[in-house]
Chains A and B, each alone.
Chain A
Amino acid sequence: MSRVNPGGYREAAAATLRDEPDVRDSVGSATRTFDAHRRTAYGAIDVERWRDWARDVKSHALTHLDDYLEQAERALLDRGAQVHWAETAADALGVLDAIVERRGVRSAVKGKSMLSEELEVNAHLERLGVRPVETDLGEYIIQLLGEPPSHIVGPAIHKSLEDCRRLFHDRLGTPLSAEPDELAAAARHALRAEFLAADLGISGGNFLAADTGTLALIENEGNIRLSTSLPPVHVAFVGIEKVVPRFTDLAGLLQLTARAATGQPIGNFVSLIQGPRRSDEVDGPEEFHVVLVDNGRTTLFADDIAWEALRCVRCGACLNICPVYRQTGGHAYGWTYSGPIGSIISPGLLGLEEAMPLPNASSLCGACTDVCPVRIPIHELLHHWREEAVAEGLAPRGEAFGSRLYAAMATRPGAFRAGGGLLRHTPWPWIGRSLPVLGGWLQERAAPKPSRKSFLKLWDEGIE
């Protein structure tokens, strides 16, 4: 992963709010729509029971990961797939090197995959002289713009219809007044040629059933179906946390993921890939490679508390409901996975120091935890990383000192009361701006109005 917010979260978020106010509008309206659909779709089923079940299935798989991964490997090999184990991003990308050379690959079509973003597959393909083409409409838009995804499910969520009209006008020649249908048709037309010409198809994977070696992929546009079946070679990058015990688990997980992500009962297309083309079949790739990727996941798994984040099914529901995410979209967070879930997995994947201050990019409101389909206690894990940051000395020294001082006063009632009096009589607007905490407060708000006397003083004087 590479950082896309060189100045850090706060600076990038502030810059987005200041310089690109349209992003807040686009992200806000799209996430609220997603969330409203999610709410309706949850309401149509006994969702609390589904969530319990999904949590248990994923947790069971994670706590028996070695067994299920080996089982999945055997089943995949039996079906003629080739399985590669990748401990690092470099290992995963290395799988492509051999394929590109052996098959003389010139162009690759890609289905939407966050893991491929994490691994920076496109940049690697370009280094190998291969032209990668994103085929998900949202991914296609941001590839044309040279941007990373801003949302796990809706990568171009930060773009308005007007942005897309201008982009497609410039790049695909559609009229500036084109309706969404026309824009989609233009992309479809351009992409059809790419599908037919591609030597390689690349996808991610939503779930991998261990007992049958079935790779499950959810989508709405059909581009993943084409990317995985039309080119002669299909490479699927699959995080090791995606394995689930049984084929039959897919029934519940695919439905719940779709409900959480977009409020659909199930994705428009569900591909259950069971191997390369068999001799009696007319469709499908000649070669099917599954790359099982660790890239920091076992480090995250080793954390006694944060490991639960690995249950994530990448539905984006926590982004959609997050009042912090809604203000800026995903780029401000700086890494592939944004929003609440990104802020709890990035510290595991990258190391906490590198991922700071993401655990602080939250008001800990807890809305994320309310909607997570696999019951990840997201806001508690955000707090866990804050605690870890303090333990590892990553909190600002002034903050650590301030907290110690505050605790020292708060355990001495007389001192605390005197401090409160001082606070109430501080001429905030004059002095506060140069102070660490008050300065941040006063930058965006009028100074608070302290009471004339503290309550404890009123109590002492007698309350009528």
Chain B
Amino acid sequence: MRVSLFATCVANEFFAEACADTVRLLRHLGVDLDVPRAQTCCGQPSHNSGHVEDARRMAAHTLDAFADAEYVVLPSGSCAAMIRAVYPDLIGTDAARALAARTYELTQFLVDVLAVESLGDGLRGLRIAYHHGCHALRELGVERQPVHLLRASGAEVVAWEADQECCGFGGLFSAKMPEVSAAMADRKLDTLPRVDVLTSADGGCLLQLDGRSRMRERGISVRHLAHLLWSATGR
């Protein structure tokens, strides 16, 4: 089984170690991994703000970059959703539909394709809050996979009343409507139970929650899910 990793633009620049952990994790699971050099951005920022022609160019580029991939795995729910849910209509070719069908968010790939039950018990005793990114949750239907993997690694995934509410990131929304966006993040942070780590499968959400938390000096430890999953193996 050969997997092509799409690090995604945000994770490449801001969660490089989590991407490296994704590599370690997939190798650990016996996956033959490559990282296509031409990868850049899936086009989501332009698409979400209505600039669909620009998005289409980036989508076509991504389609080329991953043309030979058997599986495409992303440590990002919203970028995976962009490829799976948006590309088929945006590009409208069989190639786009085929790419969509073999593209997975990381935990989706681990649980649904590799049928991973447990990665190890390296998270034993950790209290973790899991933020469900909206696109992973609603467009990919990724809900139980990440929670299952964390729990199976010995972590306690705490009950959190706002765990499925939007964090307020929303791509350019966070910069266009910063006051409302921040109030949305505050709702998340103010309902957050006491935890050791706050995590999510989406880098954008993590930037938002971490940035707001640090501005308010909340002292919340925010880590990318891929990092925790690698830690789960105890390696």
A complexed with B: yes
Taking the closest CB of chain B, its distance from the CB of A394, in whole angstroms, is 9
Confirm or deny: A444 has a beta carbon within 8 angstroms of a beta carbon on chain B.
yes
CA distance in complex: A14, B176 (Å): 12
Taking the closest CB of chain A, its distance from the CB of B159, in whole angstroms, is 15
Query: Chain A CB within 10 Å — which of B37, B40, B65, B211 has the most?
Result: B40
Confirm or deny: A327 has a beta carbon within 8 angstroms of a beta carbon on chain B.
yes
**Cβ contact within 8 Å between B39 and A413:** yes
Confirm or deny: A124 has a beta carbon within 8 angstroms of a beta carbon on chain B.
no
Across the interface, A451 reaches (CB within 8 A) one of B16, B51, B183, namely B16
**Cβ contact within 8 Å between B16 and A406:** no
Can you identify 20 A-B contacts, CB atoms within 8 angstroms? A10-B180, A14-B179, A18-B179, A327-B180, A363-B166, A386-B48, A388-B50, A399-B172, A407-B43, A410-B43, A416-B9, A423-B13, A424-B13, A444-B178, A445-B215, A446-B214, A451-B15, A451-B17, A458-B16, A463-B24
Lowest 6 CB-CB distances: which A-B pairs, in order?
A363-B170, A386-B50, A445-B211, A440-B175, A451-B16, A444-B182
**Cβ contact within 8 Å between A10 and B179:** yes
Confirm or deny: B154 has a beta carbon within 8 angstroms of a beta carbon on chain A.
no
**Cβ contact within 8 Å between B177 and A360:** yes
Confirm or deny: A145 has a beta carbon within 8 angstroms of a beta carbon on chain B.
no
CA distance in complex: A450, B23 (Å): 19
**Cβ contact within 8 Å between A383 and B170:** no
Confirm or deny: B41 has a beta carbon within 8 angstroms of a beta carbon on chain A.
yes
Confirm or deny: A448 has a beta carbon within 8 angstroms of a beta carbon on chain B.
yes
Taking the closest CB of chain A, its distance from the CB of B172, in whole angstroms, is 7
**Cβ contact within 8 Å between A407 and B138:** no
Q: Say yes or no: A395-B50 contact (C-beta < 8 A), given A360-B177, A364-B170.
A: yes
Taking the closest CB of chain A, its distance from the CB of B210, in whole angstroms, is 8
Closest residue of B by beta carbon distance from A421: B13
Q: Give a binary string over B130-172; 1 marks a CB under 8 Å from any A CB, 0 the rest.
A: 0000110011000000000000000000000000011011111
Confirm or deny: A20 has a beta carbon within 8 angstroms of a beta carbon on chain B.
no
Across the interface, A447 reaches (CB within 8 A) one of B55, B134, B208, B211, namely B211
**Cβ contact within 8 Å between B39 and A364:** no
Interface-located stretch among A111-119, A194-202, A365-373: A365-373
Across the interface, A444 reaches (CB within 8 A) one of B20, B23, B51, B215, namely B215
Confirm or deny: A323 has a beta carbon within 8 angstroms of a beta carbon on chain B.
yes
**Cβ contact within 8 Å between B51 and A455:** no
Q: Please report which residues of chain A, range 117-140, place their CB below 8 angstroms from some CB of chain B when the two chains form the complex.
A: none
Confirm or deny: A430 has a beta carbon within 8 angstroms of a beta carbon on chain B.
no
Closest residue of B by beta carbon distance from A321: B165
Closest residue of B by beta carbon distance from A449: B14
**Cβ contact within 8 Å between A407 and B212:** no
**Cβ contact within 8 Å between B177 and A410:** no
Query: Cβ of B180: which chain A residues have Cβ within 8 Å of it?
Result: 10, 13-14, 17, 324, 327-328, 361
Taking the closest CB of chain B, its distance from the CB of A262, in whole angstroms, is 21
Query: Cβ of A454: which chain B residues have Cβ within 8 Å of it?
Result: 12-13, 16
**Cβ contact within 8 Å between B172 and A437:** yes
Confirm or deny: A161 has a beta carbon within 8 angstroms of a beta carbon on chain B.
no
Q: Please report which residues of chain B, range 175-199, place their CB below 8 angstroms from some CB of chain A when the two chains form the complex.
A: 175-185, 187
CA distance in complex: A10, B173 (Å): 11
Confirm or deny: B221 has a beta carbon within 8 angstroms of a beta carbon on chain A.
no
Q: Give a binary string over B1-34; 1 marks a CB under 8 Å from any A CB, 0 the rest.
A: 0000001010111111101100110000000000
Q: Say yes or no: A459-B23 contact (C-beta < 8 A), given A360-B176, A410-B40, A440-B176.
A: yes
Confirm or deny: B54 has a beta carbon within 8 angstroms of a beta carbon on chain A.
yes
Query: Chain B CB within 10 Å — which of A365, A413, A455, A458 has the most?
Result: A455
Chain A interface, number of residues (Cβ within 8 angstroms): 72
Q: Say yes or no: A448-B207 contact (C-beta < 8 A), given A363-B168, A441-B174.
A: yes
Confirm or deny: A397 has a beta carbon within 8 angstroms of a beta carbon on chain B.
no
Query: Cβ of B12: which chain A residues have Cβ within 8 Å of it?
Result: 420, 454-456
Confirm or deny: B201 has a beta carbon within 8 angstroms of a beta carbon on chain A.
no
Q: Say yes or no: A363-B57 contact (C-beta < 8 A), given A451-B13, A458-B19.
A: no
Across the interface, B177 reaches (CB within 8 A) one of A28, A361, A399, namely A361
Taking the closest CB of chain B, its distance from the CB of A29, in whole angstroms, is 12
**Cβ contact within 8 Å between B176 and A456:** no
Confirm or deny: A403 has a beta carbon within 8 angstroms of a beta carbon on chain B.
yes
Query: Cβ of B16: which chain A residues have Cβ within 8 Å of it?
Result: 451-455, 457-458
Closest residue of A by beta carbon distance from B7: A455
Confirm or deny: A176 has a beta carbon within 8 angstroms of a beta carbon on chain B.
no
CA distance in complex: A17, B57 (Å): 39
Across the interface, A365 reaches (CB within 8 A) one of B45, B138, B177, B212, namely B138
Confirm or deny: B52 has a beta carbon within 8 angstroms of a beta carbon on chain A.
yes
**Cβ contact within 8 Å between B170 and A13:** no
Query: Cβ of B223: which chain A residues have Cβ within 8 Å of it?
Result: none
Confirm or deny: A24 has a beta carbon within 8 angstroms of a beta carbon on chain B.
yes
Query: Chain B CB within 10 Å — which of A411, A423, A424 has the most?
Result: A411
**Cβ contact within 8 Å between B178 and A441:** yes
Across the interface, B174 reaches (CB within 8 A) one of A400, A423, A440, A455, namely A440
Confirm or deny: A99 has a beta carbon within 8 angstroms of a beta carbon on chain B.
no
Q: Please report which residues of chain A, range 391-425, place their CB below 8 angstroms from some CB of chain B when the two chains form the complex.
A: 395, 399-400, 403-404, 406-407, 409-411, 413, 416, 420, 423-424
Confirm or deny: B61 has a beta carbon within 8 angstroms of a beta carbon on chain A.
yes
Confirm or deny: B49 has a beta carbon within 8 angstroms of a beta carbon on chain A.
yes
Across the interface, B54 reaches (CB within 8 A) one of A388, A404, A416, namely A404
Q: Say yes or no: A458-B20 contact (C-beta < 8 A), given A10-B176, A449-B14.
A: yes
CA distance in complex: A314, B30 (Å): 53
Q: Give a binary string over A252-287; 1 marks a CB under 8 Å from any B CB, 0 the rest.
A: 000000000000000000000000000000000000
Closest residue of B by beta carbon distance from A15: B179
Query: Cβ of B214: which chain A residues have Cβ within 8 Å of it?
Result: 445-446
Query: Cβ of B73: which chain A residues have Cβ within 8 Å of it?
Result: none
Q: Please report which residues of chain A, range 335-389, place their CB below 8 angstroms from some CB of chain B when the two chains form the complex.
A: 357, 359-367, 369-370, 383, 385-389
Confirm or deny: A248 has a beta carbon within 8 angstroms of a beta carbon on chain B.
no
